[in-house]
Structure 1
Amino acid sequence: MKRLLISSIKEIYSWLIRLLSNSNRQNEVVEQVCYLMSFPNNDQGLIEAIQRHYPIVVLYSKSCKDEAKLLEKKGVSIYCLDTINGLINGMKQLSISKIIVADNYFACLGDITFKETQTVYQLWHATGAIKQFGLEDKAAMKRSKKDKERFKRVYNAFDYVFVASKKMGEVFKRSYGFSDEQILLTGFSRTDHLVNGTKTNNQKDKRHILYLPTYRDRIPLEKWLLDIEGVSKQLNEHDLLQVKLHPHVKLTQEMTMENVEWISSSQSADDYIKQSDVLITDYSSVAFDFTVANPDKQLIMYWPDEVIYEEITGIQKGIKQDFPQKVVYTPTELLEQLNSNQPIDNQRFNQLWNTYNDGKATSRVVGEIKKVMDGEK
């Protein structure tokens, strides 16, 4: 019953988007960029860089409200897609914008009839991929035929995708059905500040160990969450374990352990990435951000639930061979790797996945937009 209700709501939403799209069909396309935002801190200056050349409007999800409000103060027009008025006005902006940039899968894009003079880009929200998504997502494969058709309509709405490597380009070819011509090797603009930014560590006498796990809504907590208390007891006095969990994960023992600092879910992980000596993560794309910011720092991949995660979501084939170190599965293996004296070298991993993340990605992305605006593409 619940699944039927959700499916019906999605059908009504699709009908509404088609209705709004048809009502805006006669609108003239203008030299404007429309940015669809669903991930906070994902553009990291790209929107402002575009604004220096062209008018830009932002259509945002409510999770990005604070960031959108800051952009509004800088002269950017904003519309919340989670309100009726915002959706209606947003669809109008999509109908008149020559360039559309989206940082995620937006269901509305699959039901809009774009004109030949419009170009739609996928920016995405990660520089690399460990888990499978799109057409390869194991969960999506089990959805209804109608759902799969809806997914493909969205994938087909995109003309190009910005990527940081040929590796990620291959992922999009499999996940979205893209062709070689749709892959733009520009680099991931969000990483520019990681490459160019100043790294600070206010506690230089401490080894900062950052734990950033991926949230799983279908796997029990005890199957994947690191034994934070147990590991903290094995750390020495010069170690500081910094833990940033998803807002949905609530632990009763927070703020009660020695050598452990709990990072608020509202704080950006990027600031901690730049100052950390070690990153412990699992299927999160933060691994790629960490190595591009810290080419000589230790990356530990902790996968205690690999078998379950592979079955439910899926993991990119061959990714384990790309990591600088072997994947670990138990707290004991993790501690052994953490305290090993093996030299750290993320160069090969970065060459494979961060190929074009050289601090100049934003300028290349803006350059691609300018080509279309100037009629060169």
Structure 2
Amino acid sequence: MGKIKSAIYPHLQRMRYKNLISVFEKGKKQDMIDNQILMLSTSKGSLGGNLGAIKSYIELNLLDYKIITVTSVDQMSIEELGSVMAQSRFIMVDDFEPMVYVLSLRPNQQLIQVWHAMGAFKRFGYGRATAESGSLTHKNYTKAIVSSPEIVDIYAESFGISRDKIIPVGTPRTDVFFDEKYVSLAKERLYGKAPELKNKRICLFAPTFRGQNVNDAFYPSEFIDLQALSNSLGEDWAVIVKLHPFVKGKLDIPKSKSIFDFSDEREINDILFITDVLVTDYSSVIFENAIIGNSAVLYAPDYEQYNANRGFYYDYNDYSCGSIVTNQSELADAIKSITNNNPQYMAFKQRFVSLCDGNSCRRFVEKILEENK
């Protein structure tokens, strides 16, 4: 049955978008516009992340590109979208975009994946044992970017494309980490939201969700006693809680001058600017945190179960920036003693984020847009 499903799966994908395919094929009769970029982010209401960063860089530097954006709010009809797709020299996506996988691209047309996540942590795409190998998904990218040279092969496997199509340029959305004005304004806003955080050392507790997706996402409340953690850290510390956006059932946050729920904050990266120690488990925020330069503790009470269900690209110890804890009794001591000046931390940064240096947008333009114009 598995072989039959694998054989018919591409047909089902094409059938779903047969009208778009038809319009796209007709659109190939039109001239392709060499400087036109179509940015697709149809699961989101606004352009952000890597696409937003690249767009801002192009506009700020007055580069000669015409950018068209499509989001869940700014949509197009099938007729208009198929025509624009066919005319655009560059089509960019930053997530799973099923409509592009059924397209037979024009000669010299570029379909570029600027994947929203960075590094290589939890398995995704064809790196997962449950992936449908016969699928068309991801396989027609002409280029994809990564945050460091070492993870090229991992992304090639996960997207089902050859390694020469994976271009290490860094992660464009992290360029803002090196923008002093942006960082200063973010700090000012957060301290204004909670003035009690000033003059405190800050532990950011930001675990990922458990469950399959947004419909059943949760974080086990028995894993963490926030009041006990705060008490163990002492008066010099404050704890900020930032749960994954998928988690609807919030933790019981004690009323305290040392514990703050920032789960409503859209950008966890902004919180990292005022953080001293990040505590997470299997979240890719560990990569952004390392770029900014904070210390980190991995707190994973359910490591064995999580690893069996999802799996990682490297041994879990390789994601440590110095400390892994599996029970809360050891957590406070680990937080207070961890530093960002240890061999594990340096090895982690080199492996996963070596090109995230504030110049990722520039490299993207030079190595992908300009070289393929």
TM-score norm. by structure 1 comes to: 0.80
Match of 1:316 among 313, 316, 328: 313
Tell me, yes or no, if the aligned pair for 1:195 and 1:292 is still in contact at 8 Å: no
Note the C-alpha offset of 1:238: 1.8
Q: 1:59 aligns to what?
A: 70
Shift of 1:48: 2.1
Residue range with higher mean Cα deviation, 330-339 or 244-253? 244-253
Structure 1 pair 226/47, CA: closer, same or farther in 2 (3 Å)? farther
Q: Is the 8 A contact 1:49 1:366 kept in 2?
A: no
C-alpha distance in structure 1 between counterparts of 2:270 and 2:133, whole Å: 38
What is residue 228 of structure 1 aligned with on the other side?
226
The amino acid across from 1:245 in the alignment is L
Q: 8 Å contact 1:29–1:117 — kept in the other structure?
A: no
Match of 1:331 among 324, 328, 332: 328
Q: Which moved more, 1:343-352 or 1:214-223?
A: 214-223
Among 129, 149, 163, which residue is 1:180 paired with?
163
Instruction: In structure 2, give the amino acid aligned to 1:239.
Output: W
Residue correspondences, number = 339
Report deviation, 1:204: 4.2
How does 1:259-274 map onto structure 2 within 5 Å? 259-274=258-273
Distance 1:342 1:264 in 2: 25
| Contact 2:233/2:336 (<8 A) preserved | no
The residue number in structure 1 matching 2:352 is 353
Going from structure 1 to structure 2, the CA distance change for 1:95 and 1:252 (only over 3 Å counts) comes to same
Partner of 1:116: 107
Q: 1:48 aligns with which of 28, 42, 56?
A: 56
Structure 1 distance, partners of 2:324, 2:251, is 29
Pick aligned residue for 1:19 from 19, 22, 37: 22
Alignment RMSD: 2.8
- Asked if the contact 2:21–2:82 (Cα under 8 Å) also holds between the matched residues in 1, the reply is no
Tell me the secondary structure at the aligned position of residue 365 of structure 1: helix
Query: Which residue of the partner structure matches residue 306 of structure 1?
Result: 303
2:199 paired residue among 200, 205, 210: 205
Q: Deviations over 1:315-357 (max 9, x none)?
A: 1223522422132211122222112266634322211111111
Is structure 2 residue 31 aligned with structure 1 residue 28?
Answer: yes
Q: 1:221 to 1:371 in 2, by over 3 A?
A: closer
Could you say which residue in structure 2 is the equivalent of 1:171? 154
> Which residue, 215, 221, 225 being the options, matches 2:209?
215
Contact map agreement 1:128 1:285 (CA 8 A) in 2: yes
For structure 2, the residue ranges without an aligned partner over 5 or more in a row are 192-196
Q: CA deviation at 1:49?
A: 1.9
Determine if contact 2:244/2:263 at 8 Å carries over to the other structure. Answer: no
Partner residue in 2 for 1:71: none
SS in 2 for 1:357: coil
* C-alpha contact (below 8 Å) 2:113/2:145 kept by paired residues: yes
* TM-score with structure 2 setting the length: 0.81
Distance 1:9 1:154, change over 3 A: closer
Q: What does residue 194 of structure 2 align with?
A: none
8 Å contact 1:165–1:353 — kept in the other structure?
Answer: yes
Task: Summarize the alignment of residues 235-314 of structure 1 with structure 2, pairs less than 5 Å apart.
Answer: 235-247=233-245, 248-251=247-250, 253-254=252-253, 256-294=255-293, 297-314=294-311
User: How far has the Cα of 1:252 moved from its partner?
Assistant: 6.1
Which one is further off, 304-313 or 157-166? 304-313
3-state SS of 1:356 partner: coil
In the alignment, does 2:177 pair up with 1:194?
yes
CA distance, structure 1, for counterparts of residue 144 and residue 18 of structure 2: 27
Identity between Structure 1 and Structure 2 (%): 22
